Amino acid sequence: MLFDFAYRLFVHRNRQLRLASEGGWIIAGQVATVAASLASVRVLTGYLPPTQYGELALALTLCGLVGQVFTGGLIVSIGRFYSIAVERTDLHQYLRAAWMCMNRVMLALLGGAISIGIVMGLAGAWPWIALTMTALLFAAVSGCNSALSSVQNAARQRTIVALHTSGEAWLKIALAVLLMWAVGISVATVLVAFALSAFCVTVSQLFFLRRLANKHPQRLHTDTTARWRQEIWAFALPISSWGIFTWAQQSSDRWALQAFTTTAELGQYAAVFQLGYTPISVASGLLLTLVAPVAYQRARTGSDAGATRRARSMLFRISLGTIGLTLLATVLTWIFHAWLFALLVGVEFRSASHLLPWVVMAGGLFSAGQILALASFVELDARALLIPKIVTAVLGVGCNFLGARYFGTAGVIAGLLGFSMVYLVWMLTLVRGAHAAPQPMTEP
């Protein structure tokens, strides 16, 4: 009995040490990424006037479209099935299937880019062609990089993920400054710099992925690549289905401001958004990066009702903690918003600092909802999120356009906050309802 107790203590101690080490790397990587995000705002608003910064915000919505519709669902699916592939000792076939799926998406994206270029040329929109093509290039490379990172994160290679994520964030800034100095200041130049940084990190990711694959022996059996492709696509399809709606919600704020206000006002909003929404989203991503692989490994195929129930409870508690931190961050930014803008953005952008606390609140509440949404991924039931994602996204688009038309930037931020509240409440209801549902009885 004493030996058994000592053994359990030793095992738990090693597990805690491992989690502490993983958490340390994640925190270090995310802190470096948030710092790079803030530095990017300071540097780019120093080089680009509000009008060009607004154009950059519009161009990045195209990257969001690719991420939400083309690659987003596939990236989530690839990360989710890693633990299942390890359990089946079939990692090599799984990686081959994931590679084939990404290749198919990249070919579709290439065809779409050529078609868009032809249509824009026929329409005479020549000034926007370079902007659109560089944005799509950045989106494609970034999608490949995110897919590789999802595998490394699922494998709990925290050091590699942290170094690559933070390294790419700082490399973007360095290359953007270098290219603007060498070529000239333009939005297209910034996007090319972003694409080059993502490409450099992707090459490094491929090297480390090969090392990861070599640690697992390759099974000599019937080719299962087709089955893996079918499973990956089946899980990714619902996520991509609501992707067009979530992209519309996340991008309509900028397009609504472009339609009803000025590009300069859009640029100010983009600076507020990047300072308030992005850092808290990255911070919540810290939690997801740590929790998601652990939950996936415990739930495996989602057939263990007890494991999935415990995962839901864990996500619920983390979401409540995120809400508490959001309220604290909102109060702090309310007190220090003027000082933060004086430190972190160019002079032309500082008149919008009073809007920062509300954007922080919106970002934090939405992040709390995203943490709860992970429960459906743990259970391999992405379809459960289809209606909530679509309905709340449509609501968010309507709020953005109505807010922009009647109240400008303040109206868009009010709509963003309202959308985040509705989304969070719906996710809370979904998770608590699933948790309270009666579980099937098992025979003794």
Element (H, E) at 36: helix 2-47
The pLDDT of residue 192 is 92
Closest C-alpha to 301, from 124, 114, 96, 82: 82
Domain ranges of the chain: 26-436
Alpha-carbon torsion, ordered 133, 138, 142, 145, to 10 deg: 100
Give CA torsion, residues 214, 216, 220, 221, to 10 deg.
-130
**Separation of first and last alpha carbons in the chain:** 27
3-state helix, strand, coil in the chain (%, to 5): 90, 0, 10
pLDDT score, position 302: 52
Return the structure tokens found at 119.
Answer: 């249509």
pLDDT in tens, the chain (444 residues): 444 434 444 444 555 555 566 566 667 776 787 788 788 888 888 888 888 888 888 888 888 888 887 888 888 889 888 888 888 888 889 999 999 999 998 898 888 888 888 888 888 777 778 888 888 888 889 989 989 988 988 887 878 888 888 888 899 999 999 999 998 888 889 999 999 999 999 999 999 888 888 887 766 566 788 899 999 998 888 888 888 888 888 889 988 998 898 888 888 898 899 888 877 777 776 667 667 776 666 655 555 666 677 777 778 888 888 899 899 999 999 999 889 888 888 777 878 889 999 999 999 999 899 888 887 777 767 778 888 999 999 999 999 999 999 999 999 999 999 999 999 999 988 877 655 544 443 333
Tokens representing 122 are 């026929």
Does the CA dihedral 372-374-380-383 come out positive or negative? positive
Q: What is the pTM of this model?
A: 0.71
Q: Cβ contacts of residue 341 below 8 Å, gap of 6+?
A: 275, 349, 350, 352, 353, 356
Distance CA 289, CA 308 (A): 18
Instruction: Determine the pLDDT at residue 20.
Output: 61
In 3D space, the residue among 200, 208, 206 whose CA is nearest the CA of residue 160 turns out to be 208
Alpha carbons 61 and 139: distance in angstroms, whole number: 10
Closest alpha carbon to 170 in 38, 339, 344, 51 = 38
What's the burial of 28, exposed, middle or buried (CB within 10 Å: 0-12/13-18/19+)?
A: middle
Report the distance separating Cα 146 and Cα 71, nearest Å: 9
Tokens standing for residue 281: 């989203």
Q: Rounded to 10 degrees, what is the CA torsion of 358, 359, 360, 364?
A: 110
User: How confident is the model at residue 63, as a pLDDT?
Assistant: 83
